[in-house]
Amino acid sequence: MQGMSSDLIQALYTEDQTLMAAKKAFPLRINEDIWQALRRWSDDELRSINSQIEYVLRDALRKAGRLPQSVDQSKASKASGSGRTR
């Protein structure tokens, strides 16, 4: 973070804390073979295992038509960059 202004650092920290506060934490028991497959997949995609699990769940919910529209549209706009303001 060397060379970054303190205002930028604070803004990034605040944005990160807001995103973290919006997530629900819970323990997950999972079969070892599934865990290893997820680990390999997440490594290939350069994601954490947690992010990979969230990606898989979100995709399954979207395909089943069970993802709330606001969440689906919000994620789509962030992926395309249109949801970001800087």
**Residue of 43, 46, 74, 40 lying closest to 58 (CA atoms):** 74
Q: What is the pLDDT of residue 84?
A: 43
Helix 49-63 and helix 32-44, axial crossing angle in degrees, nearest 10: 100
Residues of the chain where predicted confidence (pLDDT) is lower than 70: 1-4, 11-21, 71-86
Say if residues 38 and 51 touch (Cβ distance below 8 Å): no
* Model pLDDT for residues 55-69, shown as the tens digit of each residue: 999 999 999 999 887
Q: Model's pTM, two decimal places?
A: 0.57
| Residues in the chain, total | 86
